[in-house]
A and B are shown apart, each in its own frame.
Chain A
Amino acid sequence: MELLKLLSTSEIVAQVINFLLLLFILRIFLWKRILKLLDERKERISSGLKSIEDSKAEIERLKAEYETQLSSIENIARERIKEAVKEGSQVVNEIKKKAQMDAEKIIEAAKIDMKHEVARAKENLKDEIIALTMKATESLIEAKFTEENDKKLIGDFLKQVDETK
């Protein structure tokens, strides 16, 4: 009972009102505002971290895509080089073939020319032989034939020689 003398109803009521007043004021100015701010900051940090994670994932995806593209580009380049080499070797073969054909043609032409030259040379030689033979015959028989008869005579002789060959 002595302890109860320490209590004062009016003070208790006043202190309850005081506390409720402080609670009301702090709820408006402190708790609501700061808790909201802390929540917003937490939200912002977590969304920031999430966006960083998303960006990282996007970078990884782009990197993988880039690497895939790079390797496909390398493959394409390799294929093209192979094709170019193949085409080049084909062209070389064609050029070689053409060159060979040209060379053969040239050789053929040269052979024909050579035949003509040989025939011409033979003709010249024949003429020279005829002339020399005539000179020799003239000097041997010292008889003079007409140039026309001589040529005919010698020509017939040479024909007979060729035919006997």
Chain B
Amino acid sequence: MSTELPNIVTILESKLEGTVFAHYLRLWENVIFSLIIISILSIASYFVCRKQRLVPNRLQNIFEMFVGGIDDFVCGILGAQGRKYTPFIGTLFIYIIFMNFFGLVPFMKSSTTSWSTTLALALCVFIYVQYSAIKENGIIGYIDHMMGKPRGFLAFTVAIPLLLLFLHIVGELIKPISLSLRLRSNIWGDDILLSIMAGFGLKGIPMLFFNTFLAIIAGTVQAVVFCLLSTIYFALVLAHED
């Protein structure tokens, strides 16, 4: 028995049960919700930023506050060079928070309850972090960084730099897994809890509201944590003077 609440895709799937279309709906359920969010965000950002005013209206003000906040957040950690990572981290944040909250809207689903979705995002972070590290330090510099910058006597002890390299590689590979599983599990847990509360009927309404409130906090916190950790990963590979 599925513990998930019904959503528009599962409803449509049940209507078309037995057809090929139903099979694809089941397969691409999370992708469909992601695409809905992408459409909403794209259209909203297009209409808000189409006519920019020096004195902003209320909606532009909200977007400016968000963009300025993210920029301050990223540059606060990465310094002045953080500006080029602001769009990436900011897009991650807005995308994740919308996906997290989408499960609270009736007949919608949080795509972040799927590990594939969160792993895809974490892989994007992982690839971009590795690319930035190689770009900033060079391939030799990056390997040197991974080996713990062995100098003097330490450089002659081949085993220690190799061990450090191995540990760093494992650490780097673990990062996207831990990042994605943390987000997925928290949001999945919230959604399961909400669906259980919804299953209690009228008696469960107070708890449903309480859990919705908790899910809003958890969704925000998880999006912040994901972006904060991603920014720190960038900081770790870029700050090579330490």
Contacts and interface: CB of A to CB of B under 8 A. Distances in A.
A1 to B, nearest CB: 14
A21 B91 CA distance: 11
Nearest to B96: A19
B161 interface: no
B9 to A, nearest CB: 13
A22 B41 contact: yes
B202 interface: no
Contacts of B31: 11, 14-15, 18
B71 interface: yes
A10 interface: yes
Contacts of A66: none
Contacts of B28: 11, 14
B73 interface: no
Contacts of A141: none
Contacts of B41: 22, 25-26
- Provide the main secondary structure of the chain B interface: helix
A31 B52 CA distance: 13
B233 interface: no
Interface of B: 27-28, 30-31, 34-35, 38, 41-42, 45-46, 48-49, 52, 54, 63-64, 67-68, 71, 83, 86-88, 90-92, 94-95, 111, 114-117, 119-121, 123-124
A125 B116 CA distance: 160
Contacts of B91: 19, 22-23, 26-27, 31
B38 A22 contact: yes
Contact of B38 (A8, A21, A31, A32): A21
Given A33-B52, A38-B64, A16 B123 contact: yes
Contacts of B35: 18
Given A6-B116, A25-B41, A30-B87, 16 more contacts: A7-B115, A7-B119, A10-B27, A11-B116, A15-B116, A15-B120, A16-B120, A19-B91, A26-B45, A26-B90, A26-B91, A29-B46, A30-B90, A31-B67, A31-B90, A37-B64
Nearest to B31: A14
A24 to B, nearest CB: 9
Nearest to A18: B34
Interface of A: 3, 6-8, 10-16, 18-23, 25-27, 29-35, 37-38, 41
A77 B89 CA distance: 73
Contacts of A38: 64, 67-68, 71
A18 B45 CA distance: 16
A139 to B, nearest CB: 137
A14 B134 CA distance: 26
B116 A25 contact: no
Given A11-B117, A26-B94, A34 B64 contact: yes
22 contacts: A8-B116, A11-B30, A11-B114, A12-B116, A12-B119, A14-B31, A14-B120, A15-B31, A15-B117, A18-B31, A21-B38, A22-B41, A26-B90, A29-B45, A29-B49, A30-B45, A30-B49, A34-B68, A35-B71, A35-B86, A38-B68, A38-B71
- From A6, A12, A22, name the one whose CB has the most chain B CB atoms within 10 angstroms: A22
A37 B65 CA distance: 12
B2 to A, nearest CB: 15
A41 B56 CA distance: 11
A7 B38 contact: no
Contact of B42 (A7, A16, A22): A22
B140 to A, nearest CB: 29
Contact of B52 (A21, A22, A26, A37): A37
B45 A25 contact: yes
